[in-house]
């Protein structure tokens, strides 16, 4: 049994993602009613705290109540009123999709138990910064304390997206810190899908140093740094101006004022800057002193030590202003490897397995949303127009998490959509169609994977698409025929050899 009391927390939780997921109240539980949790069964302490604690901290109606859940029988719970210690029992129903739970469980099992570190690159942190400003503007209550973010950095990390197989879970890392040139989330990684909680694991950190990388060969003097920054970023962002600012030290003094000067360490070692909230900034501001590698806190693998005597850091802050109005401050590092552009944008639906990969430019917190259509007016229209009932119909959308707005079309580039082929459609001739509201049909070229289990097509917009089987059986690929022929020939030759040897 485990209990939670509504109290003051030392951490900053991002409740905005979770508020719509559940509507149960302590009054319902106190009345002995059945309540429904949009969650997998809470069978252990980690699941309990990851799901319940953010909800009750976000709702003042939970003041003065304790909750207990029986992990051995998680459908049973007890609520206590702390004013008089009286208790009541209640029953819990769990609303979740077993297929999605299976996907989440598999990912969590592969992640294991060690600490997971994820470091956003320059394209990712700028993308986060832009989308976060839009999110906080639309959701003022998401800005807790004086932290400057409401969105989890984890959503923008390709490293983390790879670890979760690019699945479209709303992943949240709940606590964090900030400084003018550094942001971090640290804590539990929680998985939500369509507002339902599917699991969590602790020890996850997502970090963003506000650094833009440019090739070393592009640097001749300070004069051409701005050109190199523009060449690096203009493919991804609509840039208005780029300006060189003050040194890093002076910039931090301007931001923090006397607070910065009050926290200087040994001048022969390193310097820490503290924000007004007390979070360590971890940025070197004195380039004339050597790095003290004997310091007990020194860890060469820690990204927080990025600026310790790094001669490839240009010691000035640069200011980028976008045409949309956002202004971002950062420093510049000469780094050939990190300035390469190889970030993939992939998102895969945990419920259906449908995947989208694209070569266009969209916000990096954009995830695929899929709805199957199996009946109704739209389905009947498609059957009638295509004259075919051997179909699967999907309403495909891409939704940007920060703005909750759809990305319906790419001005430049293509979406590559990959659909799992159900068993009865395998080895059949397949086509993909788009049927517009007037009944006009557009057919898309389909590519079948080597194992015959996936069908892919390309489009520049999202809508309702139909995967249809013509009923015709497809011929094996030429390569498959050749392999089969060689195997038969080899077996025949071996049989002939054996026959001659023993006769």
Question: What are the tens digits of pLDDT across the range 105-142?
Answer: 999 999 988 888 888 999 999 999 999 888 877 777 66
Contact call for residues 40 and 94 (beta carbons, < 8 A)? yes
What is the length of the chain? 503
The answer to which of 65-69, 196-200, 223-227, 309-313 has the lowest mean pLDDT is 309-313
**Alpha carbon 374 to its chain's center:** 29
Roughly how many angstroms between the first and final C-alpha of the chain, as a whole number? 78
pLDDT score recorded for residue 310: 55
The answer to which of 203-207, 229-233, 316-320, 479-483 has the lowest mean pLDDT is 479-483
Order of strands across the sheet with 345-348? 345-348, 355-358, 415-420, 454-459, 447-448
The greatest distance separating any two alpha carbons of the chain, rounded to the nearest whole angstrom, comes to: 100
pLDDT score recorded for residue 3: 42
Q: What is the mean pLDDT of residues 79-105?
A: 95
- Could you tell me the CA-to-CA distances from 277 to 12, 16, 273, 274, 280 in Å, in that order? 12, 22, 11, 8, 9
- Using only the alpha carbons of the chain, give its radius of gyration: 28
Residues 6+ apart with CB under 8 A from 259: 274, 275, 276
Per-residue confidence band for 409, with pLDDT thresholds at 50, 70 and 90: confident
Q: What is the mean pLDDT of residues 459-463?
A: 91
Q: At what angle do helices 225-233 and 122-138 cross, to 10 degrees?
A: 70
Domains of the chain: 2-94 (no CATH), 211-334 (no CATH), 345-473 (2.60.220)
pLDDT score recorded for residue 221: 67
pLDDT score recorded for residue 311: 61
Question: What are the tens digits of pLDDT across the range 33-73?
Answer: 889 999 999 999 889 988 988 777 777 888 889 899 999 99
Name the more confident of 94 and 149. Answer: 94
Question: What are the tens digits of pLDDT across the range 257-300?
Answer: 544 444 444 433 333 333 333 333 344 333 334 344 445 544 44
Report H helices in 42-179. Answer: 45-57, 98-111, 122-138, 158-163
Per-residue confidence band for 256, with pLDDT thresholds at 50, 70 and 90: low
Average pLDDT, the chain: 79
Please tell me whether residue 132 adopts helix, strand or coil conformation. helix
Residues 6+ apart with CB under 8 A from 127: 156, 236, 363, 364, 365
Q: What is the mean pLDDT of residues 351-375?
A: 92
Q: What is the mean pLDDT of residues 479-500?
A: 48
Strand partners, 502: none
pLDDT score recorded for residue 476: 54
Contact call for residues 150 and 134 (beta carbons, < 8 A)? no
H or E stretch covering 91: strand 86-94
Separation of alpha carbons 176 and 181, rounded Å: 14
Please tell me whether residue 402 adopts helix, strand or coil conformation. coil
- Percentage of the residues of the chain whose pLDDT score is greater than 70: 74
11 has a pLDDT exceeding 70: no
Please tell me whether residue 292 adopts helix, strand or coil conformation. coil
Strand partners, 366: 400
Q: Which two tokens stand for residue 460?
A: 């520049």
Question: What are the tens digits of pLDDT across the range 302-316?
Answer: 444 444 445 677 878
Cβ atoms < 10 Å from Cβ of 312: 11
- Could you tell me the CA-to-CA distances from 50 to 186, 195, 409 in Å, in that order? 14, 14, 36
Q: What is the mean pLDDT of residues 157-172?
A: 92
Q: Which segments of 326-409 are extended strands (E)?
A: 327-334, 345-348, 355-358, 366-373, 391-400, 405-406
205: number of CA atoms within 13 Å, CB side? Answer: 13
Separation of alpha carbons 257 and 48, rounded Å: 43
Pick from 173, 198, 159: which is nearest to 350 by CA?
198
- b/e sequence 351-390, b meaning 16+ C-beta within 10 Å: bbbbbbbbeebbbbbbbbbbeebeeeeebeebbebbebee
Q: Which two tokens stand for residue 214?
A: 């440019």
Give the phi and the psi of residue 426 in degrees, each rounded to 5: -70, 145
Q: Which two tokens stand for residue 60?
A: 């003042």
């Amino acid at each position: 049994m485990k209990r939670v009391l509504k109290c003051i927390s030392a951490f900053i939780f991002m409740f905005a993602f979770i508020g719509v997921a559940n509507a149960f109240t302590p009054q319902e539980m106190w009345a002995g009613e059945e309540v429904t949790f949009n969650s997998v069964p809470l069978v252990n302490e980690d699941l309990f705290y990851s799901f319940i604690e953010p909800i009750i901290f976000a709702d003042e109606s939970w003041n003065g109540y304790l909750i207990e859940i029986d992990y051995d029988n998680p459908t049973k719970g007890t609520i206590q009123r702390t004013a008089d210690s009286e208790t009541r029992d209640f029953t819990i129903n769990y609303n979740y999709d077993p297929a999605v739970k299976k996907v989440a469980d598999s990912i969590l099992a592969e992640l294991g138990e060690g600490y997971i570190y994820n470091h956003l690159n320059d394209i990712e942190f700028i993308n986060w910064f832009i989308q976060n400003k839009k999110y906080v503007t639309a959701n003022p209550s998401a800005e807790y304390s004086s932290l400057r973010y409401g969105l989890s950095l984890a959503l923008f990390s390709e490293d983390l997206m790879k670890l979760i197989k690019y699945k479209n879970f709303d992943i949240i890392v709940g606590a964090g810190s900030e400084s003018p040139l550094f942001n971090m989330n640290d804590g539990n990684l929680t998985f939500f899908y369509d507002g339902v909680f599917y699991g969590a694991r602790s020890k996850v950190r997502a970090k963003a140093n506000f650094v833009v990388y440019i090739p070393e060969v592009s640097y001749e003097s300070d004069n051409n740094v701005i050109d190199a920054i523009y060449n690096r970023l203009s493919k991804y962002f609509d840039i208005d101006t780029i300006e060189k600012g003050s040194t890093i030290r002076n910039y931090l003094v301007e931001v923090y004022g006397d607070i910065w000067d009050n926290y200087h360490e040994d001048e022969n070692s390193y310097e820490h800057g503290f924000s007004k909230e007390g979070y360590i900034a971890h940025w070197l501001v004195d380039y004339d002193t050597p790095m003290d590698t004997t310091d007990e806190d020194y860890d060469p693998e820690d990204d927080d030590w990025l600026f310790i005597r790094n001669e490839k850091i240009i010691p000035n802050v640069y200011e980028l202003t976008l045409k949309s109005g956002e202004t971002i401050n950062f420093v510049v590092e000469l780094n050939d490897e990190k300035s390469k552009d190889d970030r993939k944008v992939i998102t895969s639906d945990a419920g259906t397995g449908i995947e989208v990969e694209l070569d266009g430019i969209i916000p990096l917190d954009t995830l695929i949303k899929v709805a199957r259509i199996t009946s109704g007016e739209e389905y009947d229209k498609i059957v009638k127009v295509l004259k075919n009932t051997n179909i699967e119909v999907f309403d495909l959308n891409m939704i940007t998490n920060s703005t909750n707005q759809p990305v319906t079309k790419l001005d430049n580039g293509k979406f590559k959509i990959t659909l799992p082929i159900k068993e009865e459609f395998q080895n059949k001739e397949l086509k993909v169609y788009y049927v517009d509201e007037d009944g006009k049909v557009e057919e898309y070229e389909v590519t079948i994977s080597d194992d015959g289990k996936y069908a892919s097509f390309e489009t520049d917009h999202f809508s309702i698409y139909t995967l249809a089987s013509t009923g015709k059986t497809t011929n094996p690929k030429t390569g498959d025929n050749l392999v089969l022929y060689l195997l038969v020939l080899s077996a025949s030759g071996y049989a002939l050899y054996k026959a001659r040897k023993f006769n």
